[in-house]
Amino acid sequence: MSFKSIMREFKEIKEGIGSISRRGVEGKHWCGRVRSHIAPDETREETDQIDQGQWANLPPELLLDIIMRLEESESSWPARVVVVHCASVCRSWREITKEIVKTPEQCGRLTFPISLKQPGPRESPIQCFIKRDNATSTFLLYYGLVPSGGENDKLLLAARKIRRATCTDFIVSLVSDDFSRASNTYVGKLRSNFLGTKFTMYDSEPTFEVPRQLASRTSRRFNPRQVSLRLPACNYCIATITYELNVLRSRGPRRMHCIMHSIPMSSIEEGGTVQTLTSIPEAFNGQFPHLSSSIGKELVSDNSSASPSRSPVLAQGSEELLVLKNKAPRWHEQLQCWCLNFRGRVTVASVKNFQLVASAEPSHNVPAADQERVILQFGKIGKDIFTMDYFYPLSAFQAFAICLSSFDTKPACE
């Protein structure tokens, strides 16, 4: 074979357009020459290095200083997306970012999707607003004081109301266009009874390690091969919301009670804490999506028909659970209506407006000031626009689900 033929053959192989017929004669010679030099293990290492990128070789001290400066400067959305992008560069960047970025309880900010399942701050509330779309029966939770009028509003959670024969479901998702419970954007749901007087809140993930026998129940709707062995395919009951009957309308505004199955009463006592999720599930595969993107969980099944007494949250022990009640309004003689001090966050009178405080007994070690401290407040500020402010120990998902219960029709409670 001439030198020109060899060069032509090499050029065709390099450009990916060579044919088998042209290389058939020289195939054995080619394989024989390079077979002894093939090292699959080294190739995988090179691939991993390429995936890590050149930024993975930065000195840890320099990388720590860069991310700390970004964490301090980019404190609000949408600029805070830069912090999320830093955690998506490579493994070393992700580990350092996770160490620097604190939980909402510590810093009062929402950064990663896991922040939506973590308790809010103790001192100042996380302020959000909800947009209702009656045409599509959807409710969108945004991060911020009021709508900005543009597209910069940060979407945190979305819910769709689904009416059934005997109940109503609110499916909560991370995105506004996918409410399938088989999707990796599924967060949880809220289910009401027939009268709309009792709601059960379900989380797609356990708040602690679940016993194996409780995690073995899956729905027939999904192929067993599709269900991850790392995450139990269940819905976990984390709260129950009840509204008192008021058929004769002689008791004034709505009265509600929230039993938080995943939060102990000791969490609001002096020195009390609540268990906080601090790690992202393994199904993230090393990626930190945007808050409005996929949360990266595996498929989940509908196990909501199980009794709340069999919930793994209630199986932790005999510790007393946190109970929230709505703060009693006062009657305003001049306005001839019931009033609450929302500190300027609510401007329109509505039967849906409420404030929740802890229902503490004298036997509980809860200071008198904390007994009247508002943990969650919700109210109307315009047509289909509502504000939602929440404190520790509630998370964004728990607060959003409680507010969703106020949107359901309750003819027996008003």
CA-closest candidate to residue 189, choices 197, 199, 177: 199
With vertex at residue 328, the alpha carbon angle to CA 323 and CA 333, rounded to the nearest 5 degrees, is 175
Quote the CA–CA distance of 353 and 198 in Å, as a whole number.
18
Do 300 and 234 form a contact (C-beta atoms < 8 A)?
Answer: yes
DSSP H or E run through 5: helix 3-15
What's the rounded Cα separation, in Å, for the pair 47 and 310? 47
How many C-beta atoms surround the C-beta of residue 192 within 10 A? 25
Distance CA 385, CA 345 (A): 12
* pLDDT tens-digit readout, 157-206: 999 999 999 999 999 999 999 999 888 899 999 999 988 899 999 998 87
The answer to whether the bond into 206 is cis (omega within 30° of 0) is no
pLDDT at 396 over 90: yes
Q: Is the model more confident about 129 or about 45?
A: 129
| Cα-based distances in Å from 78 to 104, 217, 252, 305, 346 | 17, 40, 42, 39, 25
- CB distance 315 to 214 below 8 Å: yes
DSSP-derived pairing of the beta strands 236-243 and 154-163? unpaired
Identify whether the C-beta of residue 226 lies closer than 8 Å to the C-beta of residue 270. Answer: no
Q: Where are the beta strands (DSSP E) in 111-204?
A: 126-133, 138-143, 154-163, 168-173, 186-192, 198-203
Place of tokens 């000031």: 369
Tens of pLDDT, residue by residue over 207-224, are 654 444 344 343 434 444
Q: Give the C-alpha separation, 282 to 280, whole Å.
A: 6
Q: Where are the beta strands (DSSP E) in 184-245?
A: 186-192, 198-203, 236-243
Indicate if the pLDDT at residue 136 is higher than 60.
Answer: yes
Determine if the peptide bond prior to 393 is cis (ω within 30°): yes
**Which tens digit of pLDDT belongs to each residue from 37-95?**
555 454 444 444 445 567 778 888 888 898 889 888 888 888 888 888 888 888 888 88
pLDDT above 70 (res 249): no
In this prediction, what percent of the chain has a pLDDT beyond 70?
67
Tell me 125's DSSP state: P
**C-alpha distances out from residue 127 to 67, 337, 411, Å:** 25, 26, 30
Residue 310: how many CB atoms within 10 A of its CB?
A: 12
Rounded Cα distance, 371 and 222, in Å? 45
